[in-house]
Structure 1
Amino acid sequence: MASDPKIHVFEEVAKHSSSKDCWLIISGKVYDVTTFMEDHPGGDEVLLSATGKDATNDFEDVGHSDSAREMMDKYCIGKIDASTVPARRHFLPPPQAPYSHDKPPEFLIKVLQFLVPLLILGLAFAVRHFTKKE
């Protein structure tokens, strides 16, 4: 990378999200990994899924080797203007009713609705079998 790196805006980087033109944002830097797509050990789908966002956490979660980190230098094409990166969206699960100790869980009710008739049928069969006269 040159001594005076190019500063990219998020909107520009996000446009490069195909297997023929793929840019990633990792740790404040922009990488053009288009020529690395076929060689990536995890496949090109992994790289494509990291486009259009700050992929730093995705990259770090995998635990890349030192040699992989060194290899990144040749793909670096500049830095990202952090003020243009959208705030991260967090998954918010739908609100649920608090667990009540007074009421058994629904799955337990369903299991009992299935097992009780089977137990009654089995008991009836056993009584009939052992009380039957020959």
Structure 2
Amino acid sequence: MASDRKIYKFDEVVHHNKTKDCWLIINGKVYDVTPFMDDHPGGDEVLLSATGKDATNDFEDVGHSDSARDMMGKYYIGEIDKATVPLKRTYAPPQQAQYNPDKTPEFVIKILQFLVPLLILGLAFAVRHYTKEK
């Protein structure tokens, strides 16, 4: 029912601008996209850059598919009180940690597991090659 919809003020929504707490305003609706941060094809940075403003133009400019639009329903949490949305946005950078413990360590470990043995093998080859009696 339309009367059951939660109405959010802009000031409530703008504070949800972190990787672990991200809300967006698109077409007058408020979406909690926090569970989608790791799965968004454009990365979480794209979603974070759309916080703190009406992200309708950002969303429409990308040309999302019908399935992407259908998916939005599960993240819908309410409506924005349009009277509280400022006409001009004051820039507030997204609050994302520089180090992402959910992604970075696995990648670094895999790279090191691959590179370290190669470096050791290359070093051993170089030592053997240059210390050989001629």
For the criterion TM > 0.5, the same-fold answer is yes
| Other-structure match for 1:38 | 38
- Cα displacement (A) at 1:87: 0.3
TM-score by length of 2: 0.64
Matches within 5 A, 1:40-119: 40-88=40-88
Task: Provide the C-alpha distance between the structure 2 equivalents of 1:88 and 1:68, rounded to a whole number of angstroms.
Answer: 28
- Cα displacement (A) at 1:88: 3.0
Deviations 1:94-128 (A, max 9, x none): xxxxxxxxxxxxxxxxxxxxxxxxxxxxxxxxxxx
Aligned-partner SS, 1:79: strand
Deviations 1:55-97 (A, max 9, x none): 00000000000000000000000000000000035xxxxxxxx
- % same residue: 75
Task: Provide the C-alpha distance between the structure 1 equivalents of 2:67 and 2:5, rounded to a whole number of angstroms.
Answer: 23
Pick the structure with greater CA Rg: 1
Q: Give the gaps of 5 or more residues in structure 2.
A: 90-134
Task: Provide the C-alpha distance between the structure 1 equivalents of 2:35 and 2:71, rounded to a whole number of angstroms.
Answer: 13
Task: Provide the C-alpha distance between the structure 2 equivalents of 1:69 and 1:88, rounded to a whole number of angstroms.
Answer: 26
Q: Give the gaps of 5 or more residues in structure 1.
A: 90-134
Aligned-partner SS, 1:25: strand
- Cα displacement (A) at 1:43: 0.1
Cα RMSD (Å)? 1.0
